[in-house]
Amino acid sequence: MAVLDRIFGKGGATAGYATALVAVAEAEGVLGKVEDELFSFAKAVDLNPKLREALTDQALPVDNRQALVRDILGDRAHPVTINLISFVIESGRARDLSKIADAFVQIAATSRERSVAEVRTAVPLTDKQRERLEKALSKATGKAVEAKMIVDPSVVGGVIARVDDLVFDGSISSRLEDAKQALRS
């Protein structure tokens, strides 16, 4: 049984794991980098059923699943990020990776007195585009917002952003649906 399971219990341990991972990243001085990398990796796993299956398949040895993470991330991710993801897998929590990453991001953002916007786009945004989007979302919600980006080809074009319970859908498919409804009226 994993140490964190003993501390937080089997049920509802997501926030406990996230809190512990935030503490490690803070102690190593790489919270922001690990936050972005963990979030991006977890969302990529969500979007790739074969990868999700490989990481959660209990029939595969833990070492093989951890090696898969190292192979995928390689030099593109900070070693702390890779170690934390490996820890989650070793602890038998790979199925909860996305929930743990979401909680990690929320905890880190709350410590900076910010809200998180989960933003889906078909292609990566530039830093300048991301900053403009964060400013627009902050203005629209009345909260300081930081965007966590997810490249999702199903968006096709435009942007879909979620801040708490608010959804801002500026996707092309949404605009086409609106146009179709207007033509029917």
Please give the residue range of the domain that contains residue 138. Answer: 114-185
User: Which residues, other chains included, contact 76 with Cβ-Cβ below 8 Å and sequence gap of 6+?
Assistant: none
Asked whether the predicted pLDDT for residue 182 surpasses 90, the reply is no
Which residue, 93, 112, 131, sits at the end of a domain? 112
Which residue, 68, 86, 112, sits at the end of a domain? 112
Residues 21 and 104 in one domain: yes
Residues 68 and 125 in one domain: no
Residues 120 and 95 in one domain: no
More confident residue, 11 or 28: 28
End-to-end, the C-alpha distance of the chain in Å comes to: 60
Alpha-carbon span 101 to 22, nearest angstrom: 10
CATH number at residue 84: 1.10.520
Nearest 5°: the CA angle 180, 171, 39 is 150
Residues 73 and 124 in one domain: no
Residues 74 and 164 in one domain: no
Residues 68 and 55 in one domain: yes
Find residue 160's DSSP bridge partners: 120, 169
Residues 163 and 185 in one domain: yes
Task: Report, as an integer, the average pLDDT of 160-174.
Answer: 86
Its pTM stands at 0.79
Query: What does the DSSP 8-state code read for residue 156?
Result: -
Asked whether the predicted pLDDT for residue 2 surpasses 90, the reply is no
Alpha-carbon span 123 to 149, nearest angstrom: 10
The tokens 């074969």 sit on which residue? Answer: 50
Question: In this predicted model, what pLDDT tens digit does every residue of 65-95 receive, in sequence order?
Answer: 999 999 999 999 999 999 999 999 999 999 9
Q: What is the DSSP code string of 96-151? A: GHHHHHHHHHHHHHHHTT-EEEEEEESSPPPHHHHHHHHHHHHHHHTS-EEEEEEE
Which residue, 82, 112, 142, sits at the end of a domain? 112
Residues 81 and 53 in one domain: yes
Alpha-carbon span 1 to 126, nearest angstrom: 43
Domain count, the chain: 2
Residues 31 and 70 in one domain: yes
Residues 5 and 96 in one domain: yes
Residues 107 and 30 in one domain: yes
Alpha-carbon span 82 to 69, nearest angstrom: 7
Residues 104 and 152 in one domain: no
